[in-house]
Structure 1
Amino acid sequence: MYVVGLDIGYSNVKIAAGPCGALPRLIVRPAGAAPRERLGERIGAEEEAGSTTGAAADRPVPVDLGGVLWAAAIEPDRFEDWQRPLHEDYPATPSYHALALAALQLTGQRAIDRVVTGLPVAQAGDVRRRERLKRLLTGRHGSGEVRLEVGEVRVVPQPIGAYLDLVYTATDEEILERIETGTVIVLDAGFYSFDWALVVKGELRRSASGTSLEAMSVLLERAAQEAAAEAGGKPQPLGLEAALRAGRAHVLQAGHRLSLPSLLGRAAGPVCAVALESLRRSLRRESASVDLVLIAGGGGSLYVRAAAGLFPGATVVVAADPIAANARGFHRYAG
């Protein structure tokens, strides 16, 4: 059975694809998607879709949405006069639809037996949202050479992917004990939302799980404003986002080279504090103390210090390759 763990975020599309029970192939692409006519023209370089490695990873995947050709899975700042959606109904937008179809194409499979994907904790309990997402992904997609079919779709709370990834990969006996008999809080630092899920002895406590909008988008906006105040020019949050995704240590701001870790570190304090205060309030009725904090998501490392301060007795673990942790866990869940 061929299964796909699919995590479509506001910043990245993460895909874990392969036979059930086997180590999946991982694909991570930027989450930019817009009509093809909005794409700027690259000078001296051909656009070629479909590759997932090297420089080709920023080549758009062409997607047909109702007769309109879209370019998907590239840097958002490559589009002209186009704003990506950044709101709670993101899964209902054409941009999300285009990214979903592009992700399925990137697997290279014509028949996918099962897709597992996630929604923010605050939305995953909404039956209408789950069913709408299932309808979007299930069935036949595309035509001709890009035609494919998805047999079944499952939708789960987003942080559960990172939790399952740790369950299946942890080798440290102390961490395994805390997973099996203790209380685990999973923090998923996404671009639009900061989600958390409380798992007690392997059972999800929905009432103590939740979502805050004090996420990476807010942090990057604050860091971009600090960069502009320091070096001049306009704030460039998309440039910071692209640099963070590429793993660069510096960014250019009005001709000045600024340290990206320093900018993000200065912005992280107030943003993390607000997000974790929302989390703390959601745990007021829980009698169990937290034994293990698992942090995932592209900005997860920025929350480590604040999380350790909030749960001083807990072990704090950052997921291996935290950006793809949810997708890997979804692939496990699919089996």
Structure 2
Amino acid sequence: MGLAKRTAHATTATVAAIADAQHDEALTGIPANYFDHRAAQLEKAVSDLVAKKNEADKDYARDKAALNREMEDEKRELLRQWEVQKNARLGVLKETHEERIAELENEKAQLRQQAKDFRAQAAAYDRNKLRCSYLDCLRGKASVPKERAGMLLFQALMIGGMVSIMTSFNGYRHSGLDFFVNYHWMYPLTFCITFLIREWFMNDFTEAIIHEFILPRFQGVKKATLITLTNIVCMVPLMSTIMTCMLYGFHDLGATLAEQVPITIAVGACVNFFIVSPIVKMIYNNLIVANASGETGTYTKFQQMIMPLLSAFNS
């Protein structure tokens, strides 16, 4: 019963709606399915637009890929051209650099050769400057060594020359030719004693006198003469006393020295000033120092050999 009522009511409502629609269509002149039809057309237009959009996206993706490939090809070509230009410019730069390096090497070689020549000229100049004549020695112009090894060698030459001449002179005066046969051992003994005395205290003593009284006041021949007399006057009495005691003992020592010392001083001063000192200075300056050549020179080797001995001796 209820279902029949509801069905009848729905049928009545539908009929009423159709009647209303027909009434509205009659009033407005618009078909009843116009909006549905228009909505369907719009949906179809939207579908067409979506299809066109998808097609445009595909075309864009295809064109983009093609453009990317083209740009990559162009990029590779530009990189290749840039690499070629870079290599060409680097080649030119390297060639220029190598030429500059060659020029600098040549210039360096020339400068080294010039420095070598200059050192040779300087060494020759120093050798010529150090060279001295006999008159230079008498006038006090000949140089004497200042370094320890040079002083040691110079002193050994001076003592050797003086001992050889003065020992022969005094020995011949007292014993004649027999001295050279029986007392030849006196030469090395006298040399050693004289050398030790000079090293122990006499060098400092005579140097103090020379620097205090002679060098500030005298020049030239006077200076050379007074230096010779200072060394002779200081050494002769001491060495005469030692040698006389060794040969003859202490008997009549005072009289023997009173007779021997003045003659020995006079002869020793003349021998030292005119013979031994000039010869030793010329040998040292003109032969030893002037011919020393760097680390291979004989004098340099002597210095390298003698310095440890000097250090041990001084200690």
**Coarse TM-score class (shorter-chain normalised):** under 0.3
Query: What TM-score results when the alignment is normalised by the length of structure 2?
Result: 0.28
Query: What TM-score results when the alignment is normalised by the length of structure 1?
Result: 0.27
Q: Which has the larger share of strand?
A: 1
Q: Which has the larger share of helix?
A: 2
When Rg is computed on C-alpha atoms for both structures, the one with the higher figure is: 2
- Pick 1 or 2: higher relative contact order, CA cutoff 8 A, min separation 6: 2
